[in-house]
Amino acid sequence: QVQLQESGPGLVKPSQTLSLTCTVSGQSITTTYYAWNWIRQPPGKGLEWMGVISYGGSTYYSSSLKSRTSISRDTSKNQFSLQLSSVTPEDTAVYYCAARYAFKVNPSVDEYDYWGQGTQVTVSS
């Protein structure tokens, strides 16, 4: 059974960099064709796809967040990570990691195979 678990600080100050890690169990993140995504949901709003890293390490980002977002991976730990720089209170959200068989930009909600439980990140001084 594939499980994803987000971890990281729950509170980040404005202008700092938000860093989150998704630890995957039950499957290697290098398993062919799987893609590993970050999605967020601000309070009172819908889900927003942020970016993806493929099983081979290729990345793709939302055009609206591209300048501030970086996704990387540590295959030795079976983890992938999100960094979002220059955060503002508008980046306050529940952040999710999710997996999908086959790389796709901005999949719909029902196209993901596995989800983490989500982690609340608040941007505040």
pLDDT of 96: 98
CA distance 27 to 94: 24
* CA 74-79-84 angle, 5° bins: 90
* Residue 99's pLDDT band (cuts 50, 70, 90): very high
Residue corresponding to tokens 């939302």: 62
Cβ atoms within 10 Å of 3's Cβ, excluding its own: 14
Please state the length of the chain: 125
What is the spatial order of strands in the sheet that 3-7 belongs to?
A: 3-7, 18-25, 79-84, 69-74
For 77-97, how does the pLDDT look when each residue is reduced to its tens digit (9 = 90+)? Answer: 999 999 999 999 999 999 999
